[in-house]
Structure 1
């Protein structure tokens, strides 16, 4: 491990990988640390990429499933409504291969990779921070100029830096089936049922190559594993899953309280789930993760180059949060729907033309996350680099 680095990125999910690669390409010395032994170990996200993300980011095509243009909404009693788009709206990422590819890109950019490494402590220092990293029972203290917290909804980096923390989240759990032919057109099937998925949805995503079956909701109002078992029994006959063996189980917390107001300070910043960069309405986090991480890398590079904290002022969570006011209001309305009867009425309303248009916009709209790329100054000094050196 290096004797000193410019940036320590904690967390090698999509946010950490994106930020680390961009910083490595900018010329900074970067250490990417994750407590997992490999980036494709224990993947949490369903991996649904929306059209806007696919248009904006060069994701490897061989790490994406077939396009999905159809969404089917189901009420608690199973009454359905189908929405069809003329565009390729969704593609399900093969997240293990995608993470491995992203890590290869990081290594080519000069990023140092530290698997099976956790952040034990983060202390202020005249040059930034001293991080205590733990690996294999051994601890090492590492001076770092800046820390990027990409370590999930409950961020140790955020807590150590005194930044804001997520307080509102749902819990999702799903199982992935491969080699199962459902015989259906590729579609995103969503059940609105507060008994199975309180405050969120249950889903079957079938792209013709993989079938993802999952539930999500407020943890205080259901038992995720039990809800998933009951939901799978309910949908197995429809999708030919009876007796099928899942190849993977995923799950975790999903913050839905909106972007946190304070996500940066002179010692570091947060991105991805750690920053609350998830749509409060849909709980979609991949598009916000990539967009915010690209800005985080740019802001960090500017700060390293100038030492001027005004570069960090542009990374303002409160400004972003203001743009999510309507979605936060709708999130609170969804949380208030607690009975199947109320959900049945809501689904009936969605079948009426005005509300159907709203549903169409929610699932096929392109406003997933605001463009937040900051303007760079005309002249930015070269980054004062600390080259990677053997420990």
Structure 2
């Protein structure tokens, strides 16, 4: 098989990159190890205002807009409530969104190979293991959109993610009730060491999750999620999910409350910032594979789309001119330099190890300067720099 570009991974970054390249007239093969795109979903699927304004996302797969963020100390008392004048967040129903994006990719001419694993390069070809066995692909370039532990990055000798959180989440249908859509976040290093525990309730779906550094969960993440779900703020009038099957165990849907259908998600989240080396003469990385995730908020959907746009521009130029050196413009080190502030804040958040320190941090956010800083971070438009 011959192609201009082999894209490995059919998450949002891979689908967006493949579709955009095909629409510019290039031949694209997209390989995905999952046998179906609406199966396992690993992302919370939170789209921020800047993404919603700049990218054409199918509205039928987006939940109601959210304008309220509530930040809690470990005690859940005296939270900091931030309200925006804008629609700041919408939660994507990611399984059907992936399917819709895949249809758009196929309509643009992308050849999609499901159930196909990338196995590296051999004798000048990229080797794929699919349902019919191994096959070789001659591609002018390869794009690694294959997640935080990218096989393409390893094969091309590019940067690798070393600092990662791990997250687990339960998602279920919200009961009918009057509710102000809100994103509730708890800073508690016992439940979410180095990050947050959250309840996101947009009146359509309820997400209950925790994330943190894996090595700091002495009793395990599943237990932390159960404990949080049993006492989490923001669940008034919602059936408590703590008795249900735990997130990330891969056993499929389960019922939570009358008529509610639970979905479980979990996976690694790279938070070390954009990798310095994300391109070689043979290909490049996008999305989580490139570390395109906000070091502080761990939001990855907006960065993955913006970096994918840059990747498409660079690859289009390289394919049309025949010059591999064009990929030098895809410079992770230059972009990473613009994340210094968030990388510093990531280090600060990772050092919060006691409930007292977490409570002190929330107390600072109650001050006018603290509230202003929180609003800039949570309601700002700087999730990823324009290349």
**Normalised-by-shorter TM-score class:** over 0.9
1:318-374: per-residue Cα shift (whole Å, max 9, x none)? 0010000010011001001100011011111111111111111111011111111xx
Gap change, CA 1:345 and 1:205, over 3 Å in 2: same
Equivalent of residue 148 in structure 2, options 117, 133, 153: 153
In structure 2, the partner of 1:230 is 227
Distance in 2, Cα, partners of 1:310 & 1:120 = 26
**SS of match in other structure, 1:140:** strand
Contact 1:33–1:118 (8 Å) recurs in 2: yes
How do 1:1-391 and structure 2 match up within 5 A?
A: 3-79=1-77, 80-123=79-122, 125=124, 130-136=125-131, 138-181=133-176, 183-222=178-217, 223-235=220-232, 238-242=236-240, 244=257, 246-372=261-387
Distance in 2, Cα, partners of 1:7 & 1:180 = 45
For structure 1, list consecutive stretches of 5 or more residues without a partner in the other structure: 373-391
1:105-127: per-residue Cα shift (whole Å, max 9, x none)? 101110001000001122362xx
Distance in 2, Cα, partners of 1:124 & 1:158 = 18
1:5-47: per-residue Cα shift (whole Å, max 9, x none)? 1111000000000000001111111110111011121011000
Tell me how far 1:307 sits from its aligned partner: 2.2
Tell me how far 1:183 sits from its aligned partner: 4.0
Task: Tell me how many residue pairs correspond in the alignment.
Answer: 366
Contact 2:364–2:370 (8 Å) recurs in 1: yes
Distance in 2, Cα, partners of 1:251 & 1:228 = 11
**SS of match in other structure, 1:211:** strand
Contact 1:175–1:246 (8 Å) recurs in 2: no
**SS of match in other structure, 2:275:** coil
TM-score normalised by L of structure 1: 0.91
Distance in 2, Cα, partners of 1:248 & 1:198 = 24
For structure 2, list consecutive stretches of 5 or more residues without a partner in the other structure: 241-255
**SS of match in other structure, 1:325:** helix
Distance in 2, Cα, partners of 1:181 & 1:220 = 39
